[in-house]
Structure formats: structure tokens, C-alpha cells
Chain A
Amino acid sequence: MKRILQILALVLLAGAFVIAQTGSTGSSTSSSGTQGSSAQQSSPSSGSSGSGSTGGSSSGSGSMGSSSSGSGSMGSSSGQSTSGQDQSGSSSQGSSGSSMGGTTGSSGSGNATNGSGANNTSASQSSGSQQGQGTSKGGGTIALGVFLGLTGVWVATRRKRNALRSF
């Protein structure tokens, strides 16, 4: 009886997770590109500091944006404003590229020249073109390989130790 209750509790817990997740995620997909673009659209309106770029989700981003905004990317964004259409576009590139360092400058300016509506030349586009790939913070096959390898060594060691003990 006790086990049945616990199983029921687990089922309820799983149901709660399902409800919580479907309620919270809604229909939005988790593509980072659209998230990035919306974030960048908010930043030009607030200037080039990039403090509002997270859409209000983070309070720590402001300090980081300001801490790194003085780097080379600002120079690249100003250079880009000569070929671009408006200052707001370049400021958005500046804010988006500000923490990325000098390497992002050139492609950031390329994006701004492409888009006359500068605000829509978003961070997702610029950073996507800069890198060509997004890096996941999750593990991968290498992590799995390391885990399996270490576990194999661990199991072998344990067996060896147990075999020695039996003697």
C-alpha cells in the first residue's frame, strides 16, 4: 500500500512537471536567433550601453555590457556607421559586439550595411555570421566518452580490489 502511494505520488509529480512545462513554455520555440534579435531591437532604443539587451531577464548583464563596451568593437561600429544608414543601427551593433571583442567588429559592420533598417540587423545575425556556429554548453560525445572511460577504469579497479580481498 505504501509503495502504491509512492508510485502515485511520483505520477502526480510527473504530471505536475508536465503541466508546469506546458504552461511556461507555451508555443514559443527556443531558437536563440529570434531571442537574440529581439534583444538587440531593444538595445538601440536605450542607447549603446547594451544594458537592456536581455529583455529584463537579467540584472547582471548591464554591468557586463558596460564593462566591455569600450573595446574594439565600438570602433568597428563607428566605422560601420559611415556605410550604414543610421546611428541607431550602428549603436546596436556596438552594443551587441561590445563584449565580443575586436574580432566581431568586421562582421558586425557587414550586417549593418546590409540592413537599412539597422535595428533588425540583430545580434543573432551578426554573431551567427561571426562564428558560424553556436556553442552548446552541454556535454557531448567527448563527455560521454570520458565518463564511460573513467567508469570502466573505476569498475575494473573495484573488481581487482574485490578479487584481492577474497584472497
Chain B
Amino acid sequence: MVRFALVPLAVAICYCFEWRQLRFLTSEANLRLDLLAGISLQRLSYDTVTWRGALYRYENACTFVDVWFGCLPLLWHWGRGLIKNMLFFSGMALALFAFNVFRLSLSDSLFAAGLPWNVAHNVISGLAYFLVWVWVWRHRAYSAAI
């Protein structure tokens, strides 16, 4: 219960920062993956791209950094050492980054195919959050079983 109570705090701490480099990295990876899919976004700034006349801005939530921070209190294993925890969360950060870029590119592809933005992006985002949640829950159960 304490862990769950700490999740909003961790996310709030995360939103205290701008994460500019991460937003640039995410947008760049998304931009390149979209290019492979035949969608050519054009960069305007480190966190802003344009496509078919519309501006798209990458915010903190677009990087999944809030998800990572929210997972910190849930998945921190006190029985593990500090190094192992750090390694685990580093690996998780990479996995989340890749998953997030895939999510963004999937959204872009669906949007390019003609789906409305709310369906192509926001519904997919909710689904992605849910998948992460299921993974977190199962991982917690798995860790508890061990």
C-alpha cells in the first residue's frame, strides 16, 4: 500500500523536470522509425515536429519517463542490492524507451492510415499504459514468488 501511495509522488517528481534530452531522443527515434514506415515528419525543434501541416510536440508523457518513475516504488526490490536494482531499472528504461517509440510509431501509422487522432494515439496510449501495468503486476507477482 505504501508503494502505491508513493507512485503519485514519484510521478510528480518526474514532472518537475523538462527532460529535454529524452524528449529529443524519443522524437528522433520516432521520427526515424516513422521514416521507415514511409511517414516523413519534419523536425522544427528539439521536441516539435510537423506532419501534414500539424504541429506535434513531445511532452514528458510522450517519453514514458513518468511510467518509469511510477514503476520505481512498485518494482524496487529491497532484497536486491543497490547495483542489481540500478541494473534492473536501467534495463527497464531501455525496454520502455523501445516500447514507447514503437507505440508512437504505431500511432503515427494508424493516424496516417486515416484513423482519428483520438483513436490512433490516445486509445493506443491508454492501451500501452495498460500493458505496462499488467507487466508490472506480473513482475511483482513473479518477484514475490521468488
A positions within 8 Å CB-CB of B: 3, 5-6, 9, 14, 17-18, 21, 24-25, 30, 32, 35-36, 38-39, 50, 53-55, 57-58, 60-61, 63-65, 67-68, 97-101, 103-104, 123-124, 127-128, 130-131, 133-140, 142-147, 149-151, 154
* B44 & A35 in contact (Cβ 8 Å cutoff): yes
Residues of chain A contacted by B48 (CB below 8 angstroms) = 32, 35-36, 134
A146 contacts which of B47, B56, B122 (Cβ < 8 Å)? B122
With contacts A100-B51, A137-B121 known, what are 19 further pairs, Cβ within 8 A? A18-B17, A21-B19, A24-B21, A32-B55, A35-B46, A55-B45, A97-B53, A99-B40, A103-B53, A127-B54, A133-B55, A136-B59, A139-B122, A140-B122, A146-B125, A146-B126, A147-B126, A149-B126, A150-B127
Cα distance, A97 to B122, chains bound together (Å)? 27
- Cross-interface CB contact of A53 among B44, B53, B117, B134, cutoff 8 Å: B44
Contact partners of B117 in chain A: CB under 8 A: 135
When chains A and B are docked, how far (Å) is the Cα of A30 from the Cα of B58?
A: 11
At the interface, yes or no: B133 with Cβ under 8 Å from chain A? yes
* CB closest chain-B residue, reference A6: B82
In chain B, positions 73-129 with a C-beta closer than 8 Å to chain A are 78, 82, 85, 104, 107, 117-118, 121-123, 125-127, 129
In the complex, what's the smallest C-beta–C-beta distance from B114 to chain A, in angstroms?
Answer: 15
Chain B residues whose CB sits within 8 angstroms of the CB of A50 once the complex forms: 42
Q: Are B42 and A64 in contact (CB under 8 A)?
A: yes
- Cα separation A3 to B79 with both chains bound (whole Å): 9
Question: For chain B, which range describes its interface: under 10, 10 to 19, 20 to 34, or 35 or more residues?
Answer: 35 or more
Q: A137-B121, A139-B125, A142-B118 are in contact. Are A60 and B50 (CB under 8 A)?
A: no
